[in-house]
Amino acid sequence: METSPHGVQSLMRNIRIIARLDVKTEHLVKGIQLEGLRKLGVPNDFARKYYQAGIDEIIYMDIVASLYERNSLLPIVRQASSDIFIPMTVSGGIRSVENARAALGAGADKVGVNTAAIKSPQLISDIAAEFGSQCMVSSIEAKNTRINIWEAYYDNGREKTGINAIEWAKECEKRGAGEILLTSVDREGVGNGMDIDLISNVCDVVNIPVIASGGIGNIAHMKDVITHTNVSAVAIAKILHYGDSSIADIKAALRQLEGIEIR
């Protein structure tokens, strides 16, 4: 029996499958360990395809926003909101309540914050207070440093913080985050499976939903993370972008898992 995010015992655990789209200027990009970013095409061509195939949510991640100190996702999200009717999260370059307001105004349902929250954790509380916790996703980039220790990174996995990622997840929840997007920098883009230890450690210390990101190379990896952790959602990129697996196949396979509900 699993515990739902709200602490209520339920028989079925609902798992969301999320497509993660890393965006750099007008390109959909994909790297390995967030490095060597390869241009793959127009983000919304992919987003629309995933929506039509039944993906549950979409995360747009502007991965150069911190570099440019701007967010170039708004026109992309605005365009997507006219024909994609599932929850969309905009992450990257959200540095203020006003940035969050603009993203939500453009059609996003949630905003993800990493760099700016590391620099000023108060931003999490401010966004949650203004728009509600359900809008406030704490994006955490975690890198394994020692056995069972992870450090939070920012700027697309490039900058160290010295902050323990597990402690940081607790802090984010305490400050009002409604959800955690947890990316393993080590596993991202490699396709060798997720960092199960990282994900279970975070799931164990927070009560809000955790979206696991980084490492899915096949459907078995998804089964692994769903059965071995209390994760609420899995974000995938590589296998969708490169066409290695279809959303229909993924969902069909996961429906076979006992106690798991897939939309």
Partner 1 sequence: MNSLAKYETDAPNEAYYGLPQEVLFCKTCVISNQRPNSIIEQKHTKESKKPVIAFTDGICDACRTKNSKVEIDWNLREKELIELCNKHRSKDNSYDCLVPGSGGKDSFMQAHLLKYKYGMNPLTVTWAPHIYTDWGWKNFQAWIHAGFDNILVTPNGRIHRLLTRLSTERLLHPFQPFVIGQRHLAAKMAALHNIKIIFYGESGAEYGNPIANNNSAKRDFKEYEYFTMSDDSDVFLGGTSFKELKEDFAFKQHDFDPYMPIDPQICEDKEIEVHWLGHYVKWHPQAAYYYAVEHGGFQAAPERTLGTYSKYNSIDDKVDDFHYFTTFIKFGIGRATYDAAQEVRSGDIELDEAIALVKKFDGEYPARFEKEVFEYVSIHEKEFGSKIASKFKNPIVTRESFLELCDEFRSPHLWKFEQGQWKLRHTVFNP
Residues with catalytic function: 22, 141
Q: Judged by CB, which is closer to partner 1: 39, or 174? A: 39
Q: Which helix (H) or strand (E) holds 129?
A: helix 122-131
SS3 215: coil
Q: 217: which 2 tokens? A: 């190379």
Q: Judged by CB, which is closer to partner 1: 160, or 228? A: 160
The nearest distance, CB 186 to partner 1, in angstroms, is 8
Number of H helices, E strands in the chain: 11, 15
The nearest distance, CB 143 to partner 1, in angstroms, is 7
Considering only CA atoms, which of 241, 233, 166, 242 is closest in space to residue 205? Answer: 166
Supply the DSSP string of 145-213, one letter for each residue: EETTEEEEEETTTTEEEEEEHHHHHHHHHHTT-SEEEEEETTTTTT-S---HHHHHHHHHH-SS-EEEE
Question: How many CA atoms lie within 13 Å of 27's alpha carbon, on the beta-carbon side?
Answer: 10
The nearest distance, CB 220 to partner 1, in angstroms, is 19
Q: Judged by CB, which is closer to partner 1: 62, or 173? A: 62
Total residues found in the chain within this entry: 263
The nearest distance, CB 94 to partner 1, in angstroms, is 18
Q: 87: which 2 tokens? A: 């929850």
Q: Judged by CB, which is closer to partner 1: 157, or 209? A: 157
The nearest distance, CB 68 to partner 1, in angstroms, is 6
The nearest distance, CB 39 to partner 1, in angstroms, is 7
Q: Judged by CB, which is closer to partner 1: 241, or 251? A: 241
Residues engaged in binding partner 1 (CB under 8 A): 24-25, 32-33, 35-39, 64, 67-68, 143, 158-160, 190
Considering only CA atoms, which of 7, 45, 20, 60 is closest in space to residue 234? Answer: 20
SS3 118: helix
Q: Judged by CB, which is closer to partner 1: 67, or 102? A: 67
Distance CA 151, CA 114 (A): 13
Distances (CA, A) of 184 to 51, 62, 140, 191, 211: 25, 17, 8, 12, 11
